[in-house]
Amino acid sequence: MHDFHYHDGTLHCEGVNLTDLAIQHGTPLYVYSANTILEHYRRLSSALSDLDHHIAFAVKANSNLSILKLLNDEGADFDIVSGGELFRVIRAGGTAKKCTFAGVGKTREEIEYSLNEGIYCFNVESEAELRFINKISNELNVIAPVAIRVNPNVDAKTHKYISTGKSENKFGIDFEFIEGLYETASKELKNLELRGLQMHIGSQLSEVKPFVEAVQRVAPLAQKLKQKHDIKFFSIGGGIGIAYEDALASGKDSWWQENDQNNTPLTIEEYASELVPILAPLGLKIMLEPGRLIVGNAGILISEILYKKVGTAKTFAIADAGMGDLIRPALYQGHHEIVPIQNTSNENETVDIVGPICESGDFFAQDRELPKLEEGEMIGMLSSGAYGFVMASNYNSRTLPAEVLVSDKTHKLIRKRQTYEDLINGEDL
């Protein structure tokens, strides 16, 4: 489901004309649809209505304050991976009580900050970290709520950089050690409360099988830990994949739900119908940590074609956005559908869409057949709402793009474009 449609040949986000927005705010420009974000959240929540469930939005996917506020107002919890993300959640109107804190390298400063704010739970990723949290809690004379992240050793069948549930990945603790560690913690580590069990096998999963395999493997363990240690929740992580291809090509309103060959075959409903029967009998609170599913298809990156260059081997369309604005193609060979904002051309052309950055990896598409683009035209990189702006950098001393949130016929600038002054802020001669 998404809210990007052509009206009279111009791409709109909900009721807002994207050409107008790009002229008003300049390019490169991230635009998000509030309605799409809320729809995804609500659809997931309603598919899980038979469970005592909590949806903790993975802040790493999109941490703009206004997006966090939108989800906070809707009742979402948050999955965070740094003190900075906790700070953002609080600034957006949320509380630490709504946050679970994951990540393999939590620092003393982050642990103390989270404890002082009253974090709901730390998802612990090593025995050393478990002991460190206990030590800090002892010093502060508090009890730290913890869950241990189990690595179920299941192949998520996704890109190797975003696969996390195999023993060779740095994440979580091997399945075999978990029961022993809960025993040790309950006997020796007096400043901990064993509140839950967590897992996350990877991101952008396009089939339900690995989720089922992992949950089937870990559910009996969760049951045992509930009986022995009275844990309260089982978090099954995030990872539900979205469609990156054929986003608008089909012209369907709800291409995302259609099970098209080129789209992800995994729907929210399939995910829920396979997992709920395994999870419900546990009688535990079930937590999820979706990021991409909620915001991925809700965002577009708009860029202007600055120049065309016809070479002997290739035709290049050089955009004003680059890998510093959206790094997914360069880093994960990620595919983003590229569409003209003004749909005027009847002719197609095979082009490379590249950015201005001094790297050959700075491209959005290679040898892709697209409607013929002219200099000065605007294009949209679809499905850029997750892991888009949050991974942007100032490489080549380029300013970060602006972000806009659309809701129905209105829009709001939710992050200003950086200035040259912003670039050197904090530096000293």
Residues that bind ligand LLP (CB under 6 A): 58, 61, 79, 102, 162, 164, 200, 203-204, 237-240, 289-293, 328, 332, 386-387
Q: How far is the CB of 96 from ligand LLP (least distance, A)?
A: 17
Name the token pair of 420: 């040259």
Amino acid occupying residue 31:
V
Q: Which is nearer to ligand LLP, 233 or 316 (CB)?
A: 233
Q: 363: which residues sit within 8 A by CB, 6+ positions away?
A: 323, 329, 330, 352, 353, 354, 355
Closest by CA to 399, choosing from 359, 356, 368, is: 356
Q: How far is the CB of 149 from ligand LLP (least distance, A)?
A: 7
Query: How many angstroms from the chain centroid is the CA of residue 32?
Result: 14
User: Is 121 designated active site?
Assistant: no
CA dist 272 and 250 (Å) reads 26
Q: How far is the CB of 60 from ligand LLP (least distance, A)?
A: 6
Q: Strand pairing of 173-174 and 144-151?
A: parallel
CA dist 204 and 296 (Å) reads 10
Q: How far is the CB of 337 from ligand LLP (least distance, A)?
A: 15
CA dist 396 and 336 (Å) reads 23
CA dist 148 and 406 (Å) reads 38
Q: How far is the CB of 292 from ligand LLP (least distance, A)?
A: 4
Q: Which is nearer to ligand LLP, 164 or 303 (CB)?
A: 164
Q: Which is nearer to ligand LLP, 191 or 203 (CB)?
A: 203
Q: How far is the CB of 190 from ligand LLP (least distance, A)?
A: 27
Number of neighbours of residue 280 by Cβ within 10 angstroms: 14
Closest by CA to 321, choosing from 360, 376, 364, 359, is: 364
Q: Which is nearer to ligand LLP, 240 or 370 (CB)?
A: 240
CA dist 253 and 271 (Å) reads 21
Q: Which is nearer to ligand LLP, 42 or 309 (CB)?
A: 42
Amino acid occupying residue 111:
I
Compute the radius of gyration of the chain from its Cα atoms: 22
CA dist 306 and 374 (Å) reads 9
Q: Which is nearer to ligand LLP, 213 or 349 (CB)?
A: 213
CA dist 18 and 145 (Å) reads 46
Q: 56: which residues sit within 8 A by CB, 6+ positions away?
A: 76, 77, 78, 79, 98, 99, 100, 235, 287, 288, 289
Q: How far is the CB of 201 from ligand LLP (least distance, A)?
A: 9
Amino acid occupying residue 50:
D
Number of neighbours of residue 251 by Cβ within 10 angstroms: 9
Q: Which is nearer to ligand LLP, 57 or 255 (CB)?
A: 57
DSSP codes, 68-112: HHHHHHHT-EEEE-SHHHHHHHHHTT--GGGEEE--S---HHHHH
Q: Which is nearer to ligand LLP, 136 or 293 (CB)?
A: 293
Q: How far is the CB of 299 from ligand LLP (least distance, A)?
A: 12
* Residues tagged active-site: 358
